[in-house]
Amino acid sequence: MLTGSGPNDRDGNSVMTKNDSHKQLALALKKEGIATYRYDKRVVTQMKKKKVDPNTSFDDFITDARDIVAYFEKDKRFSKIYIAGHSQGSLVAC
């Protein structure tokens, strides 16, 4: 699941808001036997390390998503992979 624009974490939260939207969705899907993978956007990880790269671009978010999909494609436990995103995350998913 891909988060929207801005420094959003894996749970769907930003510096300004906390709603755990992605976490809640992941928990609901888990109850239905559907595995999910959420991750902090690259900029969130950089902020946590207090070392933000000003050259981070939209293409970096695409690269991160592609690398994650490639990782799970090799895992035979999963027969299908769906990519879902909100806002900027939907553009990355395309």
Give this prediction's pTM: 0.85
> Is residue 81 a contact partner of residue 72, using CB atoms and an 8 Å limit?
yes
Q: What percent of the chain has pLDDT over 70?
A: 100
* Average pLDDT value for residue range 22-50: 92
Q: What CA–CA distance (Å, rounded) separates 56 from 34?
A: 32
Domain boundaries, the chain: 21-93
* pLDDT confidence tier of residue 31, bands split at 50, 70 and 90: very high
Six token digits for residue 52: 């933000």
Question: Per-residue confidence at 44, pLDDT binned at 50, 70, 90?
Answer: confident
Contact criterion met (CB below 8 Å) for 56 and 46? yes
Between residues 10 and 44, which one has the greater pLDDT?
10
At 5 the pLDDT is 86
Local confidence band at 77 (pLDDT 50, 70, 90 cut-offs): very high
Give ∠ CA 37-41-43 in degrees, rounded to 5: 165
Q: Where are the alpha helices (DSSP H) in 1-94?
A: 21-31, 42-48, 58-73, 88-93
Average pLDDT, the chain: 92
